[in-house]
């Protein structure tokens, strides 16, 4: 990306869709901008159901039979949304169910889904390896790392208890000394389908809410991005990605993070769906914290580096004053040196380290932060050599993807 003149996202998309396979043509550094395009290039540039409308690519079930290919929704996106409400214009919720509305049966110990090593898995999901407190999974032609965020959610808890709900769901209630409750509902596979912060006065702030009809009897994990057409946006790159190295005024973080998604959101997604789908994540703008440096092979943040988070932490704090239900995704990335599985685990720990620093040093509530490591899957600089720009952490404000903005009022 060095030395190029600014280009619109649409021009970038058109150029990058036709990019040759790795090692052919482009000079080092010309990696695609969007994660979904990086994913396509990594898979050899072959068409998928997302790109062909389901006409040329037919997925195969485990038993060898052909399954019906998902087809991109015929969506007229129109111009980029002007605010979060406009971004959610297509979403229709008949009724919001409070996180504590359904009566549950209290259980004496944590349910099985709380342990990522023991939780049940959908069909087609293989556990590749366990790396300490991380599990490497493979499904849908992708490899991901899964970790447990409950220790962060329990920060400052005076009490934690669990309830069984209908449909093999579980509810975790974290009670803090300040009277705040964090209520998390998980489905039978441990995916978060609802998370709320309930204030001492009973007011509920919905941080994550997904229509569970999307999960009804769904035994397979699939990419919800397959329902969307290839991303096309007509904005300069610097309005889609903010590089910390280019930030001169700390207020730039707030001005960037408060911007709405770059296209309309067709439905609310679970946090786990956003983490797993490059195409869905592409809807949210991204900050690359490329000024934050980790020691080689380490996930620890030196004290001298923590202060580099102050600008983005201040921006988060201002956004949370306006809407306490904001959710920020913190992504960890590595370069392509080393074993891919080890890089996945390392990147996930780095993302978690940033979340911990934002909470410990700047008091950003842990429930407003979710983390995911991607290892070397989405390189910023297209090279297999050691590259500092690829060893980065990124932040997206995904509120409009995972919660109804009306709940902020």
pLDDT in tens, 172-227: 999 999 999 999 999 988 899 999 999 999 999 999 998 766 655 455 678 899 98
Share of the chain above pLDDT 90, in %: 57
Q: Please report the pLDDT score of residue 66 as a whole number.
A: 41
Provide the edge-to-edge strand list for the sheet that holds 169-176. Answer: 105-107, 157-165, 169-176, 181-186, 192-198, 204-209
Distance CA 401, CA 284 (A): 8
Sequence-ordered list of residues with C-beta below 8 angstroms from that of 255, at least 6 positions apart, any chain: none
Q: Please report the pLDDT score of residue 8 as a whole number.
A: 36
Report yes or no: 289 and 357 within 8 Å, Cβ to Cβ: no
Q: Please report the pLDDT score of residue 297 as a whole number.
A: 84
Report yes or no: 134 and 348 within 8 Å, Cβ to Cβ: yes
95: pLDDT confidence band, cut at 50, 70 and 90?
confident
The size of the chain, in residues, is 409
Q: Please report the pLDDT score of residue 294 as a whole number.
A: 83
pTM of the shown model: 0.85
More confident of the two residues 215 and 362: 362
Number of H-type helices and E-type strands within the chain: 12, 14
Name the residue with tokens 């001169």: 248
Identify which of 56-60, 110-114, 334-338 has the greatest average pLDDT. 334-338
15-29, 229-243, 256-270, 365-379: segment of lowest average pLDDT: 15-29
Average pLDDT over residues 392-400: 96
Alpha carbons within 13 angstroms on the beta-carbon side of residue 98 total: 9
What does the DSSP assignment read for 16-74?
HHTPPPTTSSSPTT---SSHHHHHHHHTTS---HHHHTTSS---B-TTSPBPPPP----
More confident of the two residues 75 and 296: 296
318-322, 324-328, 384-388: segment of lowest average pLDDT: 384-388
Helix (H, G, I), strand (E, B) or coil at 36: helix
pLDDT in tens, 104-114: 999 988 887 77
Average pLDDT over residues 222-243: 90
**Does pLDDT of 288 surpass 90?**
yes
**Does pLDDT of 312 surpass 70?**
yes
**Does pLDDT of 59 surpass 50?**
no
More confident of the two residues 67 and 158: 158
Provide the edge-to-edge strand list for the sheet that holds 142-146. Answer: 126-131, 134-139, 142-146
Closest CA to 73 of 88, 87, 54, 58: 54
Distance CA 304, CA 354 (A): 13
Distance CA 301, CA 329 (A): 18
Share of the chain above pLDDT 70, in %: 81
More confident of the two residues 58 and 378: 378
**Does pLDDT of 5 surpass 90?**
no
Q: Which two tokens stand for residue 45?
A: 């540039």
**Does pLDDT of 286 surpass 60?**
yes
pLDDT in tens, 17-53: 332 222 233 344 568 889 999 888 777 654 333 333 3
Q: Please report the pLDDT score of residue 60 as a whole number.
A: 39
Mean pLDDT of the chain: 83
């Amino acid at each position: 990306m060095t030395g190029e003149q600014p280009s619109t996202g649409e021009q970038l998309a058109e150029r990058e869709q036709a990019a040759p396979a790795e090692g052919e043509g482009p000079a080092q550094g010309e990696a695609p901008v969007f994660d979904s395009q990086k994913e396509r290039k990594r898979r050899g540039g072959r068409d998928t159901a997302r790109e062909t409308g389901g006409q040329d690519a037919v997925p195969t079930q485990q038993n060898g039979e052909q399954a019906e290919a998902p087809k991109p929704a015929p969506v007229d996106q129109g111009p980029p949304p002007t605010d979060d409400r406009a971004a959610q214009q297509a979403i229709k919720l008949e009724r919001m169910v409070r996180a504590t509305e359904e009566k549950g049966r209290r259980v004496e110990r944590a349910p099985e889904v709380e342990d990522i090593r023991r939780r049940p898995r959908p069909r087609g999901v293989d556990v590749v390896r366990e790396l300490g407190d991380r599990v490497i999974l493979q499904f849908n032609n992708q490899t991901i790392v899964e970790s447990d965020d409950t220790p962060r959610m329990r920060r400052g808890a005076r009490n934690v208890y669990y309830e069984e709900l209908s449909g093999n769901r579980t509810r975790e209630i974290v009670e803090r000394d300040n009277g705040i409750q964090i209520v998390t509902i998980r489905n039978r596979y441990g995916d978060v389908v609802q998370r709320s912060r309930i204030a001492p006065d009973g007011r509920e702030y919905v941080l994550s809410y997904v229509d569970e009809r999307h999960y009804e009897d769904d035994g397979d994990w699939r990419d919800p991005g397959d329902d969307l057409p290839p991303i096309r946006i007509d904005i300069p790159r610097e309005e889609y990605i903010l590089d910390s190295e280019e930030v001169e005024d700390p207020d730039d973080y707030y001005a960037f993070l408060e911007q709405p998604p770059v296209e309309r959101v067709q439905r609310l997604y679970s946090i786990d769906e956003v983490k797993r789908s490059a195409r869905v994540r592409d809807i949210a703008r991204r900050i690359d914290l490329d000024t934050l440096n980790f020691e080689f092979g380490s996930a620890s943040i030196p004290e001298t580096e923590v202060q580099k988070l102050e600008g983005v932490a201040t921006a988060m704090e201002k956004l949370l004053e306006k809407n306490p239900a904001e959710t920020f995704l913190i992504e960890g990335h590595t370069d392509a040196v080393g074993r891919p599985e080890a890089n996945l685990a390392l990147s996930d720990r780095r993302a978690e380290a940033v979340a911990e620093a934002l909470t410990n040093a700047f008091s950003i509530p842990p429930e407003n932060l979710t983390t995911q490591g991607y290892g070397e899957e989405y390189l910023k600089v297209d090279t297999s050599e050691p590259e500092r720009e690829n060893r980065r952490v990124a932040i997206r404000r995904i509120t409009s993807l995972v919660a109804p903005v009306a709940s902020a009022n």
